[in-house]
Structure formats: C-alpha cells, structure tokens
Structure 1
Amino acid sequence: MRFTEHELTVALTGAAKTVVAANRKVRKGGKDIDTVWNEMDRHQRYKVLDALGDQILPVLVALPDVEVEPGTRPSYTNSQVTETITGLVGDELGKLRRAVVIKARTSLVQTALASVPPRLDPDALINASGEPT
C-alpha cells in the first residue's frame, strides 16, 4: 500500500502524541494530550516528530502492499510489521538491544497505523458533472 503524504503525517503525529502522553509530567498534569500538543511550540513538536520519523517512516514505506477498501484503514498484523522492522534494523546491535528495538518499533508503528485516517473513496470525490471536488 502506498501511503499519501497526509496519511504519513497523521500517522507520525498520532505516534508522537502517544509518546508525549507517556511522559510522566504530562500524565501527572492530567491534561488532554491534544491540549498538551497544541500548547507545545513548533520547535518542541519538531523535535518529537524528527526523533520518531527516522524510526517509523522507513517502516511504513517498506510495509507490503495491501488493498484498502474505501472507508477503512490499512491494517497489518504484528508479525508483518515485526518482519519488516527486522529487515530494516540490521545486525549491528546486540541480541537483547535488537529485540527491544524491534518490539518498541512494532508498538510505535502499530500506534501510527491506528492513527491513519480511513481511506476515501476516489469516486466519491468526483461531483455529478464529472469534475473533481
């Protein structure tokens, strides 16, 4: 499946919000993650997105192609995601560190995939006169 730029951006942002929400200060503050995200300045958001982009985007691009029906999200099994990540991680890490990286990235990528908006029907984007809306 080829993700659009918008889908990749939304996926990365969803994963970033989850990472920020896991921060102890954010959890103890009791604020909604969207409020916390909006209160962050652009540089703070950039740092989080940049750190996660190197981990998530290559995996999303390397995932196998699947058919996605309009109105649904792309879904992959943990084994498909893990297999893709395993191929990308390489062998330079130690056995334990490699296992931890694969498990953590699998979780991040699944979170990102859950944030992807449902696929739109391309035929619904054309109005009655045959022109794109």
Structure 2
Amino acid sequence: MRFTEHELTAALAGAAKVVLAADRRLRKRGVDVDTAWDQMDRYQRFKVLDALGDQVLPVLVALPDVDVAPGTRPTYDDRVVAEVVDGLVAKGRGRLRRAVEVKARTALVQAALAAVPPRLDPDALLSGDDL
C-alpha cells in the first residue's frame, strides 16, 4: 500500500499511543494518553516511535493496494494483516511464541491503521473547493 509520509507518521503515533495507554503506571495515575503524549519530550517520543517503527512500518508498506475513497481510511481484514505479519516475523521462534507475536503485531497494525487520517480528494485540493 502506498501511504504518504503524513499518513505513516500519524499511523505510527496512533500505535505509540495505544502502547502508551497499556502502561500500568499511566493508568494508575489516571492520566489521559493524549496528555501523557503531550507531556513527553521529543527524545522520549523518539524512543517509543523508534521501537515501534521496526514492527509497524514494514507491515504497512507490505500491505496490498486497495482503493481508498476520498474521506475514508484504508481498512484491511485481520486475516490479510496477519498474513503479511506472518511473512515478516522471524522464523526461528517456537510455534506458540510466533502465534502470539503475529496476533499482537496484527492488533498493533490495526491500531495504526485506525489512526491514519482520512484520504483527501486530490481534485478538490486542486480546485480549491475545501479552502
């Protein structure tokens, strides 16, 4: 799938917020994930995004092309994402560990896809209708 740089950045940030929301310390303090994300400095955000980039970005790039109507997000069935993830996961793991990794990474990629902003209509951008 061909994503723009902005879409990939938004997808990675969305996945990072999902991982951040799973942090027990954050939930215990009762802090909203968006507030916690905003309170992080640039280096802290970089560390989270860097760790997730190797897991999410190769899958997003390897997804098959789909037609995305303007105003909608690209969506994929869990089975399609799991097949792509399965092809990218290292082969040297045990069967159970591999299955858990595929399932977890599939959920992470689906969270990233949910964070992709809706596609814009390129014709409307050229004509200035949305301005």
Task: Tell whether the structures are fold-level matches, with TM greater than 0.5.
Answer: yes
Measured after TM superposition, the shift of residue 74 of structure 1 is 0.1
Give the 3-state SS of the residue equivalent to 1:126 in structure 2. helix
Q: What amino acid is aligned across from residue 6 of structure 1 in structure 2?
A: H
What is the aligned partner in structure 2 of residue 28 from structure 1?
28
Q: What amino acid is aligned across from residue 40 of structure 2 in structure 1?
A: M
Structure 1 runs, 4 residues or longer, greater than 6 Å off: none
Unaligned runs of 5+ in 1: none
Q: What amino acid is aligned across from residue 69 of structure 2 in structure 1?
A: E
Q: How do residues 103-122 of structure 1 correspond to structure 2 at under 5 angstroms?
A: 103-122=103-122
Measured in 1, the distance between the counterparts of 2:127 and 2:58 equals 36
Unaligned runs of 5+ in 2: none
Measured in 1, the distance between the counterparts of 2:47 and 2:24 equals 18
Measured after TM superposition, the shift of residue 34 of structure 1 is 1.0
Measured after TM superposition, the shift of residue 127 of structure 1 is 2.8
Measured in 1, the distance between the counterparts of 2:82 and 2:15 equals 17
The alignment status of 1:55 with 2:64, answered yes or no, reads no
Q: What amino acid is aligned across from residue 103 of structure 2 in structure 1?
A: K
Relative to the length of structure 2, the TM-score reads 0.95
Measured after TM superposition, the shift of residue 124 of structure 1 is 0.7
Q: How do residues 11-90 of structure 1 correspond to structure 2 at under 5 angstroms?
A: 11-90=11-90
Q: What amino acid is aligned across from residue 96 of structure 2 in structure 1?
A: L
Measured in 1, the distance between the counterparts of 2:114 and 2:31 equals 22
Measured after TM superposition, the shift of residue 35 of structure 1 is 0.8
Measured in 2, the distance between the counterparts of 1:86 and 1:22 equals 24
Give the RMSD, CA atoms, in angstroms.
1.1
Q: What amino acid is aligned across from residue 126 of structure 1 in structure 2?
A: L
Paired residues in the alignment total 129
Measured in 1, the distance between the counterparts of 2:126 and 2:10 equals 24
> Identity of counterpart residues, as a percentage?
68
Relative to the length of structure 1, the TM-score reads 0.93
Deviations 1:46-68 (A, max 9, x none): 11101100000000000000000
Q: What amino acid is aligned across from residue 111 of structure 1 in structure 2?
A: A
